[in-house]
């Protein structure tokens, strides 16, 4: 018959208690004869072991039953044990640990420092001291550390490495102490010394990688971790590598690293969640679903995993399954804002814009303050997200007045939320061809927020649309600071030059942006932008080369798939491949007016007029103010002999072009539409009058 742990503890407690009474020792005996610190016991390892055992038992019972008085008694017993064996580094460490467990940090550190002083060669004692230093210096412990502890800690370990320059464990602790003190340069130099001593040290390389990650230098972190991430590596090495890949948006390699971590620790749910999340982000949906399914089988109340499964099914357009899993998440966490927001996204993906708008409004109403009370910073952040989404939904629905009113509500939230609201207002006025109004609000917004790079960039884009490209570039160039942040400014400059048809200057600016483009997504966009510039110059061969380079990096990028497919369709070449590319883009974004137009245009080029009409009419329903889409649909109607319908769409296209700034109009295209409209008018004039 097996005893339970509590039964064994009770039995041992009884035996040790009896021994204590028989020997007249232990806590009871000491209380009558004075404190343990006043005893001058002769060295006796047997007695030391006895008091250690009794102290350990007090410690176990104190922790098990949450009785601080037993932990205090455990301290007294370990102190007694130390009197009988004062040179024991092990007992000193036990006592230091007990002090730490009861919050007596000064005593804990002093005891550990004394142990290291007595036994400087004891690696375990040094590690304990380093651990105590780091624990007491951790800012979320809920209490202030002693004022001098940081300097004491660093000096202690600087002395230890000076005494033994080959001691890699002390270098590792010293580097962490430097990091805690914010001395990153010293931390880096110390870790490099540790790596020089032991180049294949997983701990040293991992710590240096984490330091680089803290500094935002993820590429160097990855290079280091790849050196030690092998079949023998600790799972934490692999998970750290996965984290670094996540930061540069390399989700495919992040998933592979998490898979390696999970192979070494198959019960670690954090690793499994990381794997599932990165599989989802890298569009490996079936594999992601398998991981999240395993997680909900392990914990049927795992809200996040149900939510992630819903997201995976949503992007696969398996809307019934998406709703089923989302319903489970809602049942488990009805107040969770992330869950509620995903209901909005699901309605939007299904084209249920009215339901999506109603859901967002419901969330906003629930979070409104009675009597207009103030919002907390977190409430402001949440409210800004939902107002932003509501404005986008109104714009998608074509209700620009409601969108404008919604974005104006963001201005009352202040700071970065107000800036985002101003940016969306500017974009809304730009979309509705109110360029003067957009310029006016952008000028006022910059005066209110002179340090906002986003607002300056938005105004530069407006100036370019107004034909003032020189003013736009002059506005952007002072923002260049010769650092990584310059990338976005060079891209903005490139777009200004591209809009002004200064293509050589546009490519030069893209090249500058490319110098600081590190992640796969950043490199992808550089090739995409090169492709779009060559396409505007009608150098289709070079454009195709750049688009294909972009697709090598991200084969499932909808924007690139559509652009290349449309370019082919417009030329009337590679039509079968063009249709496949555009269909893939449309699978990812089924409600995109641009992608619907591209597919309809490709079918028109194949003379598949019924399919062309189907997709182009959907595109016009989604975006009725785009002159190119209207022109395409008119071509279909004309080819079908529906001359009056074609005439109406060409007139509408010309009306929309007339509203655009001249810089956004291709006059040759306008001339072609005017000629086609004349042909339609002639056909209608020559047609027999209806009876």
Same domain as 603, residue 525: yes
Q: What is the pLDDT of residues 378-411, one digit of tens each?
A: 999 999 999 999 999 999 888 999 999 999 999 9
Domain that holds residue 536: 517-611
- Considering the domain boundaries, does residue 565 fall inside one? yes
What pLDDT score was predicted for residue 199?
A: 87
**Residues 566 and 651 reside in one and the same domain:** no
528 and 606 fall within a common domain: yes
Q: Is the pLDDT of residue 33 over 50?
A: no
Alpha carbons 224 and 241: distance in angstroms, whole number: 9
> Same domain, yes or no, for 523 and 575?
yes
**Shared domain check, 636 and 578:** no
Same domain for 535 and 600?
Answer: yes
Tell which wins on pLDDT, 288 or 199. 288
Considering the entire predicted model, what is its pTM?
0.72
Same domain for 556 and 602, yes or no, is yes
- Lowest-confidence range among 288-292, 418-422, 459-463, 656-660? 656-660
Query: How many helices and strands in the chain, by DSSP H and E?
Result: 37, 0
Residue 614 has a pLDDT of: 96
Give a yes or no: residue 599 inside a domain.
yes
Residues 691 and 635 reside in one and the same domain: yes
Domain contains 286: no
Domain edge (last residue) among 611, 635, 653:
611
CA-to-CA distance for 83 and 198, rounded, in angstroms? 39
Is there a single domain that holds both residue 600 and residue 529? Answer: yes
pLDDT tens for 532-569 read 999 999 999 999 999 999 999 999 899 999 999 999 99
pLDDT tens readout for residues 563-612: 999 999 999 999 999 999 999 999 888 889 999 999 999 999 999 999 99
What was the pLDDT predicted at 373? Answer: 67
Please tell me the predicted confidence (pLDDT) of residue 636: 95
123 pLDDT above the threshold of 70: no
Domain CATH for 659: 1.20.58
pLDDT at residue 30 is higher than 50 = no
**Same domain, yes or no: 636 and 679:** yes
547 and 522, same domain (yes or no): yes
Residues 6+ apart with CB under 8 A from 5: none
Q: Report the alpha-carbon distance of residue 68 to residue 316 in Å, rounded.
A: 56
Q: What is the mean pLDDT of the chain?
A: 85
Q: What percent of the chain has pLDDT over 70?
A: 84
The closest alpha carbon to 37, from 83, 94, 74, 72, belongs to 83
Residue 161 lies in a domain: no
Helix%, strand%, coil% for the chain, nearest 5: 80, 0, 20
The 10s digit of each residue's pLDDT in 218-261 is 888 898 888 888 888 889 889 989 999 998 888 999 999 999 99
Does the pLDDT of residue 690 top 70, yes or no? no
Is 503 domain-assigned? no
Q: Do residues 582 and 562 touch, judged by C-beta distance below 8 A?
A: yes
Nearest to 554 by CA among 109, 196, 249: 249
At 101, list the tokens. Answer: 């467990």
Domain of 536, CATH number, reads: 1.25.40.10
Task: Provide the pLDDT for residue 4.
Answer: 42
**In a domain? residue 351:** no
Q: Is 357 exposed, middle or buried (0-12, 13-18, 19+ CB in 10 A)?
A: buried
Whether 310 and 322 have beta carbons less than 8 Å apart is answered as yes
Both 659 and 688 in one domain: the answer is yes
Chain segment 452-482, per-residue pLDDT in tens: 999 999 999 999 999 999 999 999 999 999 8
Number of domains in the chain: 2
Q: Quick check: is 564 in a domain?
A: yes
Q: Which of 611, 643, 678 corresponds to the end of one domain?
A: 611
Residue at a domain's end among 558, 589, 611: 611
Domain assignment present for residue 689? The answer is yes
pLDDT tens column, 56-89 = 787 777 667 777 777 777 778 777 876 777 766 6
């Amino acid at each position: 018959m097996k005893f339970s742990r509590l039964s064994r503890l009770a039995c041992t407690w009884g035996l040790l208690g009896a021994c204590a009474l028989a020997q007249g020792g232990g806590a009871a005996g000491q209380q009558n004869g004075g404190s343990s610190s006043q005893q001058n016991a002769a060295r006796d390892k047997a007695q030391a072991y006895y008091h250690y055992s009794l102290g350990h038992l007090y410690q176990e019972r104190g922790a098990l039953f949450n009785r601080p008085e037993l932990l205090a008694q455990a301290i007294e017993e370990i102190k007694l044990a130390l009197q009988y064996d004062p040179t024991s580094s092990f007992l000193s460490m036990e006592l230091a640990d007990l002090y730490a467990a009861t919050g007596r940090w000064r005593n804990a550190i002093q005891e550990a420092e004394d142990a290291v002083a007595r036994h400087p060669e004891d690696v375990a004692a040094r590690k304990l001291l380093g651990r105590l230093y780091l624990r007491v210096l951790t800012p979320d412990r809920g209490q202030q550390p002693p004022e001098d502890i940081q300097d004491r800690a660093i000096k202690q370990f600087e002395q230890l490495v000076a005494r033994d320059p080959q001691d890699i464990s002390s270098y590792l602790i010293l580097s962490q102490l430097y990091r805690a003190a914010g001395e990153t340069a010293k931390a880096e130099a110390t870790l490099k010394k540790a790596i020089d001593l032991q180049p294949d040290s997983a701990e040293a390389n991992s710590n240096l990688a984490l330091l680089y990650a803290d500094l935002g230098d993820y590429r160097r972190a990855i290079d280091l971790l790849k050196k030690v991430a092998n079949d023998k590596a600790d799972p934490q090495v692999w998970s750290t590598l996965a984290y670094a890949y996540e930061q540069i948006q390399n989700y495919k390699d992040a998933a592979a690293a998490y898979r390696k971590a999970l192979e070494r620790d198959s019960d670690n749910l954090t690793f499994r969640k990381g794997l599932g999340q990165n599989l989802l982000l890298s569009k490996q949906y079936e594999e992601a679903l398998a991981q999240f399914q395993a997680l909900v089988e392990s914990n049927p109340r795992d809200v996040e995993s149900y939510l992630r499964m819903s997201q995976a099914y949503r992007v696969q357009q398996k809307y019934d399954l998406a709703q089923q899993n989302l319903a489970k998440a809602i049942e488990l966490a009805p107040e969770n804002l992330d869950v509620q927001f995903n209901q909005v996204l699901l309605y939007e993906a299904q084209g249920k814009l009215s339901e999506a708008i109603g859901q967002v409004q419901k969330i906003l109403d629930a979070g409104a303050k009675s009597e207009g009370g103030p919002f907390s910073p977190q409430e402001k952040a949440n409210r800004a997200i939902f107002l932003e989404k509501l404005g986008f939904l109104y714009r998608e629905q074509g209700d620009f007045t409601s969108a404008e009113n919604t974005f104006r509500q963001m201005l009352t939230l202040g700071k970065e939320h107000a800036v985002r609201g101003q940016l969306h207002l500017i974009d809304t006025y730009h979309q509705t061809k109110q360029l003067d109004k957009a310029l006016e609000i952008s000028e006022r917004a910059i005066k209110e927020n002179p340090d906002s790079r986003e607002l300056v960039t938005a105004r530069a884009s407006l100036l370019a649309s107004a034909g003032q490209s020189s003013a736009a570039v002059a506005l952007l160039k002072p923002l260049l600071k010769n650092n990584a942040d310059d990338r976005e400014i060079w891209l903005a400059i490139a777009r200004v030059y591209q809009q002004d048809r200064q293509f050589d200057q546009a490519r030069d600016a893209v090249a500058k942006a490319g110098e600081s483009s590190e992640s796969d997504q950043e490199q992808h966009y550089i090739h995409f932008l090169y492709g779009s510039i060559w396409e505007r110059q009608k150098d289709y061969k070079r454009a195709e080369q750049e688009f294909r380079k972009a697709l090598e990096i991200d084969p499932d990028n909808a924007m690139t798939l559509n652009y290349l497919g449309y370019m082919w369709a417009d030329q009337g070449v590679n039509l079968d491949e063009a249709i496949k590319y555009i269909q893939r883009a449309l699978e990812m974004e089924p409600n995109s007016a641009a992608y619907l137009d591209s597919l309809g245009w490709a079918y028109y080029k194949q003379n598949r007029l019924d399919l062309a009409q189907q997709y182009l009419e959907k595109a016009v329903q989604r975006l009725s103010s785009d002159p190119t889409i209207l022109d395409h649909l008119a071509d279909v109607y004309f080819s079908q002999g529906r001359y009056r319908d074609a005439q109406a769409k060409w007139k509408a296209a010309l009306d929309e072009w007339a509203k655009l700034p001249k810089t956004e109009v291709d006059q040759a295209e306008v001339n072609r539409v005017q000629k086609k409209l004349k042909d339609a008018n002639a056909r209608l004039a020559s047609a027999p009058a209806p009876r």
